[in-house]
Amino acid sequence: MTSQKTILRALAGETLPTPPIWMMRQAGRYLPEYRATRAEAGDFLSLCYNSELAAEVTLQPIRRYGFDASILFADILLLPQALGADLWFVTGEGPRLSTITTQAEFDKLVGPNDVHDHLAPVYETVKILSRELPSETTLIGFAGAPWTVATYMIAGKGTPDQGPAHKLREENPEVFRAIIDRLTDATIEYLSMQIQAGAEVVKLFDSWAGSLKGDAFTEFALKPAKRIIAELKSRHPDTPIIAFPREAGDGYIGFAKATGADCVALDNSVSAAWAAEHVQKDGCVQGNLASRHMVTGGQDLIDETREIVKAFSNGPHIFNLGHGITPDADPENVQLMIDTVRNG
């Protein structure tokens, strides 16, 4: 049966005359209505765990722009929090977590099936959204990939080069492997519950995949994604999965086939022409306009948007940014991007 929703059609391998479109971090600080709702919630994490308000901010960019998909409002760091890590956000700096680098610290984490009470508000947000979204809008659930989430759990914060996680990987491979395995198992349960609650597509964000090279990329980016996707496909065979091994470079080649993903999301370090030839030949791709165009706008935005649409026009494609939109973006530039994609 062919679904009418354009994103699901592209994910099923259909080449559409106009690519469907959504945007990473489309609910976010560049929107005044997001900032108002976040203030009402109190802070970012309170917003994530307030199902009514999280659903409200998810819907805001749909009302304003009519994107073809909406992504659940939550964060990849809610899962480590559910596993037992402390989590807080420092304004202007980003996330902070209690660190896990020893066997004793690892042993305090809960099991992969013990995360659901903590994450119940997220599943409730998904349920509200599947009732309230327009019938043509696809609902995307998500989780962080094990490696990316592990980099935050090990360092206790974001790091420029993921140094602490690489160090643990080399110096204490047993504990490192245990963290990756626990995250892999818990991610399967978390995404499975999102699908049961109404997510129609799920996306796996491996934002730091690019810092894994060679065998390490295979072991800790590719294999966990493959295991998560295989298990989700066995439980929910009709739910498409988007993988985002950001900055994987050549690692993008064959990634969908090797992991079973229905689509790979591309960052903007690869050109659309290159990705059309080497990645889109295996199926749907998503991407990859540079986020900076949402700040700078103008003819550059129009030219680059057209180039990306054209480069991917011979195969299945979902238009998106190469990474999340930034808080300094101008909401009018988002409209200009959408108009350019839809009207040429």
Q: How many secondary structure helices (H) and strands (E) does the chain include? A: 17, 9
Phi (first) and psi of residue 5, to 5 degrees: -70, 125
Site for ligand CP3 in 3-32 (CB under 6 A): 24-29
Residue 279 contacts ligand CP3 per CB under 6 A: no
Residues that bind ligand CP3 (rule: CB under 6 A) add up to a total of 22
Residue 334 token pair: 């988002």
Annotated catalytic residue 292? no
Are 193 and 202 within 8 A, CB to CB?
no
Cα separation, 204 vs 76, in Å, equals 9
Cα separation, 164 vs 99, in Å, equals 10
Annotated catalytic residue 29? yes
Site for ligand CP3 in 144-173 (CB under 6 A): 144, 158
- Residue 157 is classified by DSSP as B
Taking the least distance from each CB to ligand CP3, the nearer of 28 and 315 is 28
Taking the least distance from each CB to ligand CP3, the nearer of 162 and 280 is 162
- Pick the catalytic residue: 35, 64, 75, 114? 75
Q: Which of 30, 67, 142, 190 binds ligand CP3 (CB under 6 A)?
A: 142
To ligand CP3, the closest distance from the beta carbon of 215 in angstroms equals 24
To ligand CP3, the closest distance from the beta carbon of 73 in angstroms equals 5
Annotated catalytic residue 328? no
Q: Which of 51, 187, 207, 291 binds ligand CP3 (CB under 6 A)?
A: 207
Q: Which of 5, 38, 226, 317 binds ligand CP3 (CB under 6 A)?
A: 38
Crossing angle of helices 51-65 and 116-132, rounded to 10°: 40
Q: Which of 95, 112, 224, 240 binds ligand CP3 (CB under 6 A)?
A: 95
Cα separation, 207 vs 227, in Å, equals 18
Taking the least distance from each CB to ligand CP3, the nearer of 92 and 237 is 92
156: left (phi over 0), alpha (psi -120 to 50) or beta: left
Annotated catalytic residue 96? no
Site for ligand CP3 in 280-309 (CB under 6 A): none
Annotated catalytic residue 169? no
Cα separation, 165 vs 174, in Å, equals 13
Cα separation, 145 vs 244, in Å, equals 9
Residue 94 contacts ligand CP3 per CB under 6 A: yes
Phi (first) and psi of residue 265, to 5 degrees: -90, 135
Residue 60 contacts ligand CP3 per CB under 6 A: no
Cα separation, 101 vs 168, in Å, equals 7
The site for ligand CP3 (CB under 6 A) is made up of 24-29, 38, 44, 71, 73-77, 94-95, 142, 144, 158, 205, 207, 324
Which amino acids are annotated catalytic? 25, 29, 38, 75, 152
